[in-house]
Amino acid sequence: MEPKATSAPTVSPNATTPRMMTGLFRAQADAESAIIALEKRGYRKEDVSVLMSDETRKRLAAHSSMTHTSGEKAAEGAGVGSAVGGVAGAIILGIVAVAAPIAIPGIGLLISGPLVAALAGSGAGGLAGGLIGSLVRVGIPESHAKIYDLGLREGGVLITVQPRSQFDATKIAEDWTALHAENLRY
């Protein structure tokens, strides 16, 4: 496993038009908190793109189902009418479900949100040339794309959003940095 990138976030030189913000999250709880932070800033699920491996999606779905079932049983035993917990994985999977995901055969990757259209329109090959090339074609530097590719293969979740302003970009970067986003770029 390669060492984590520990450099400061890459900031767009054009302060008036922030570019797409990307961050890799290794922990499910951090990824979900990053999405919640975006929602608190007024971003809709449809504004957020999520990339993950199919294996990660399956792990999240199994964990979400298991936590929900355990929560229901605990709630029944305590005489409570609703499940406690049961949210693990549901936030990330909710974004994926709402944002018209596509699965990329051969790569084992699931992509949802606005990034789907950007990658589809990124050139004749689309994702056929692989994730790294596709991310580079939508403006992500190759050095970041390689780290994202490795992180996704290792079970991480890549979250992207187009900030509405430089102020938003700065605030989201602060939120995501506190949530251990790796290779944060904006």
Residue range 158-177, pLDDT digits in tens: 999 999 999 999 999 999 99
Listed range (24-33, 39-48, 133-142) with the worst mean pLDDT: 133-142
Listed range (17-21, 37-41, 123-127, 162-166) with the worst mean pLDDT: 123-127
- Each residue's pLDDT tens digit, 51-91: 988 888 788 777 655 544 443 443 343 333 323 333 445 55
Q: Residue 163 domain-assigned?
A: yes
Q: Mean of the per-residue pLDDT values for the chain?
A: 74
Q: Residue 176 domain-assigned?
A: yes
Q: Residue 106 domain-assigned?
A: yes
pLDDT value at position 63? 64
What string of H, E and C letters represents the secondary structure of the chain? CCCCCCCCCECCCCCCCCCCEEEEECCHHHHHHHHHHHHHCCCCHHHEEEEEEHHHHHHHHHHHHHHHHHHHHHHHHCCCCCCCCCCCCHHHHHHHHHCCCEEECCCCEEEECHHHHHHHCCCCCHHHHCHHHHHHHCCCCHHHHHHHHHHHHCCCEEEEECCCCHHHHHHHHHHHHHCCCEEEEC
Range of the domain at 33: 21-54+99-185
Split at pLDDT 50, 70, 90, the class of 22 is very high
Split at pLDDT 50, 70, 90, the class of 25 is very high
Average pLDDT over residues 28-39: 93
Q: Residue 66 domain-assigned?
A: no
The pLDDT > 70 percentage for the chain reads 61
Q: Residue 91 domain-assigned?
A: no
Q: Residue 138 domain-assigned?
A: yes
Q: Residue 108 domain-assigned?
A: yes
Q: Does pTM top 0.85 for this prediction?
A: no
Q: Residue 48 domain-assigned?
A: yes
Average pLDDT over residues 1-19: 54
Check whether 45 has a pLDDT greater than 50: yes
* Total domain count, the chain: 1
Split at pLDDT 50, 70, 90, the class of 115 is confident
